[in-house]
Amino acid sequence: MRAGVVAVAAALCVSPTVSLAKPAPARDWSRMVVATPEGGFRMGNPAAPVKLVEYGSLACPHCRHFEETGYKPLVQNYVRKGRVSYEFRNLLLNAPDIAVSLLAHCAGPAKFFPMSEIVYATQPQWFQKVSSLNDAQKSELDKMSDAERVVRLGEIAGFPQIAGRFGVNPARSHQCLSDPKGLERLLNGTKAAEDAGITHTPTFLINGKVSDAATWEQLEPELKKAAGG
């Protein structure tokens, strides 16, 4: 009897048929970022019931405010769960904007949003560098072609150093800043937005319809409504 009890106990301890089912981990849709045919970058579930598009500028203070107050709750509470997809499309404002946007696009889909966070966070510093040029520097820029001016302003602002944090080395940075095809794509995207009546940043579209929201406090209720509560 004793030997039989021990044998049964041993069998219970090593039985391969005893297991607890674990629920499959929820998918983090914020890790899925792709380039779009419209020239932007989309984060999230491509089949999300709510599709949010932001026409923004990396040189826009209002866009920076949205980045600081709305980006994280948007991603954590809506995009990550697959409820909302979020696409950023550049609406260019000026030459520094062109320069930093060229580099952010060169960083690629997976690094576009993380690099944009740093660009926004340092916006006051690099804006100060560009706006405080002395007369000699301004004269130098005036003698340059538009393409040369974009490269030089990018260097003055320190954009290659930011891009370097995301795998874009100095040689690649210079190549991206002076890439005519990259510039053409950005300019075409801006023209398409303006032709569609998009004239200011940030402008948000929810499922293709222009929203009046300009801040996260205004935008979130509209997202909730579009998502059905």
pLDDT band at residue 18 under the 50/70/90 scheme:
very low
Cα(168)–Cα(171) distance, integer angstroms? 8
Mean pLDDT of 95-101: 96
Whole-model pTM? 0.87
**Does residue 198 fall inside a structural domain?**
yes
Mean pLDDT of 53-61: 98
Domain count, the chain: 1
**Does residue 1 fall inside a structural domain?**
no
Cα(131)–Cα(123) distance, integer angstroms? 12
Which pair of tokens denotes residue 42?
Answer: 């989309």
pLDDT band at residue 97 under the 50/70/90 scheme:
very high
**Does residue 146 fall inside a structural domain?**
yes
pLDDT at 16: 46
Query: Which domain does 168 fall in, by range?
Result: 29-226
- Which CATH number does the domain housing residue 210 bear? 3.40.30.10
**Does residue 2 fall inside a structural domain?**
no
Which pair of tokens denotes residue 187?
Answer: 């300019």
For residue range 149-193, list pLDDT tens digits in order. Answer: 999 999 999 999 999 999 999 999 999 999 999 999 999 999 999
